[in-house]
Structure 1
């Protein structure tokens, strides 16, 4: 079993109007669309996607992966055009439009539809929010972890692979605010190896419960993620959310973000100014 031959596939739900799947619920699909496609929110998501989420993915040291961006068929044309423009230099990326449907089943369907047919090797799958970032060597480390776990992969239907050290961060007109974060089994830089001919996917499980349903391995040796921390996080819309003390990056911190995540603080300042 050689991880270099495995298919790596990532999925990003970009303002997809799912039936369920949000911590903030709405009474109708019309209300959900109105919330998701509000101009202020969409402008923020577009800026964040372009300056935070995409740079590290475009700069991966291992370019052999696929990245599916799931949107609603009802996404306004101007936003679809913006997304298309953002990924013209990213051959790994593909926009997938789906009608509103139940969250987990439709995401499972999207991933399984894009898996190689008749592959006898496990697939490596990861989910990615549109305001998060992974380190530029995430795909390389993901494959190496699969090699480390070859014994587990050989006898398990699925194995969780978790990189749990990074930052919480927020883009502002003055640059990035951040705080070091240790987040076991969070949604970012968390992947799963799935045995061939198994239809369960990374989207079948809540990220914080993945270690309850399969064997997992964790790595904590280097910064591997940035967890987006902003006013439009779905996870931040409820009361009693724990606050994080974010501080401005200094020059050394900006250099670290550029090296690890390909995030250009000048670009962030320009986009959010």
Structure 2
């Protein structure tokens, strides 16, 4: 059975809806998203939080669609193009502003869905979160055990619920081990290739309304990274798990290829508080 693993990563995509930070006009949103200092921070976190584990996946057989606008300013558009050249799994989708965000996301990923696949494992990869280096391997392997459940409705979610929440402020980086129900990172939605839907069509906080789901909590599989530029910064429903704080650096390096010291220095250098959002860090 062929299980295609297909991810969508939106990098400051300019369009309508789809975000919690709202603007009255497209030009206001463009000014917000394309602010040079904001883009510099976003790229830094993308390079140091998100990309390391994606480049180190133990199963390299996946596709990651990098979705942005054709007018993304330089040098960031060129840097995305360069990333596609060195990362075999990456595909660049330049999507003009569209009012309906879900339609825009489908335009981005539709050309990359394998019609011959038996199942597509869709995942949403935010550009400041991370998945563990064995996420793709496990999401493909574990589907075998979940297949009978998937065949009931030809929709299924798999939630790797154990992870770490990192918060970046002017004080540095704090680390909190959390079990989170259906966090964005490391949540897989399995659909048939002809579904004309993606992970974006099923809001993660209420995905149980749309399909059955399986929770696999055994090992840390995601990093939720909270910073000044989060769209929401809400952690989501869950609770802590016990771990030794002295081992955070080793765990982040081993499971996510993240250098905690680098993040600490960057957070202090940016010198910014958390995002001004109602539920940031909650």
Q: Which residue of 1 aligns with 2:254?
A: 259
Give the whole-Å Cα distance in 2 for the aligned partners of 1:166 and 1:67.
21
Equivalent residue for 2:86, pick from 86, 89, 97:
89
Give the whole-Å Cα distance in 1 for the aligned partners of 2:192 and 2:74.
38
Tell me the CA shift for residue 188 of structure 1. Answer: 1.1
**What residue ranges of structure 1 are gaps of 5+ in the alignment?**
none
Give the whole-Å Cα distance in 2 for the aligned partners of 1:69 and 1:23.
20
Partner SS, residue 140 of structure 1 = helix
Equivalent residue for 1:104, pick from 102, 105, 111:
102
Tell me the CA shift for residue 252 of structure 1. Answer: 2.1
Checking the alignment, whether the CA contact within 8 Å between 1:160 and 1:191 is kept in structure 2 is yes
Partner SS, residue 189 of structure 2 = strand
Equivalent residue for 1:11, pick from 8, 11, 22:
8
Q: Which residue of 1 aligns with 2:263?
A: 268
Q: Which residue of 2 aligns with 1:69?
A: 66
Equivalent residue for 1:39, pick from 36, 39, 42:
36
Partner SS, residue 51 of structure 2 = helix
Give the whole-Å Cα distance in 2 for the aligned partners of 1:164 and 1:92.
25
Query: Given the alignment of the two structures, is residue 151 of structure 1 paired with residue 112 of structure 2, yes or no?
Result: no
Please give the residue correspondences for 1:75-224 in structure 2 after superposition, counting only pairs within 5 Å. Answer: 75-101=72-98, 102-117=100-115, 119=116, 121-171=118-168, 176-224=173-221
Q: Cα–Cα, structure 1 residues 73 and 20, in superposed 2: closer, same or farther, change >3 Å? A: same
Checking the alignment, whether the CA contact within 8 Å between 1:170 and 1:228 is kept in structure 2 is yes
Tell me the CA shift for residue 169 of structure 1. Answer: 0.5
TM-score if structure 2 supplies the norm length?
A: 0.86
Tell me the CA shift for residue 250 of structure 1. Answer: 5.7
Query: Given the alignment of the two structures, is residue 53 of structure 1 paired with residue 50 of structure 2, yes or no?
Result: yes
Give the whole-Å Cα distance in 2 for the aligned partners of 1:120 and 1:10.
15
Tell me the CA shift for residue 178 of structure 1. Answer: 1.1
Checking the alignment, whether the CA contact within 8 Å between 1:70 and 1:95 is kept in structure 2 is yes
Q: Cα–Cα, structure 1 residues 123 and 165, in superposed 2: closer, same or farther, change >3 Å? A: same
Q: Cα–Cα, structure 1 residues 251 and 236, in superposed 2: closer, same or farther, change >3 Å? A: closer
Aligned length: 262
Partner SS, residue 86 of structure 2 = coil
**1:112-137: per-residue Cα shift (whole Å, max 9, x none)?**
221113x2501111001101000111
Tell me the CA shift for residue 96 of structure 1. Answer: 0.9
CA RMSD for the aligned pairs?
2.4
Give the whole-Å Cα distance in 2 for the aligned partners of 1:111 and 1:87.
15
Equivalent residue for 2:227, pick from 220, 227, 230:
230
Q: Cα–Cα, structure 1 residues 73 and 120, in superposed 2: closer, same or farther, change >3 Å? A: closer
**What residue ranges of structure 2 are gaps of 5+ in the alignment?**
270-282
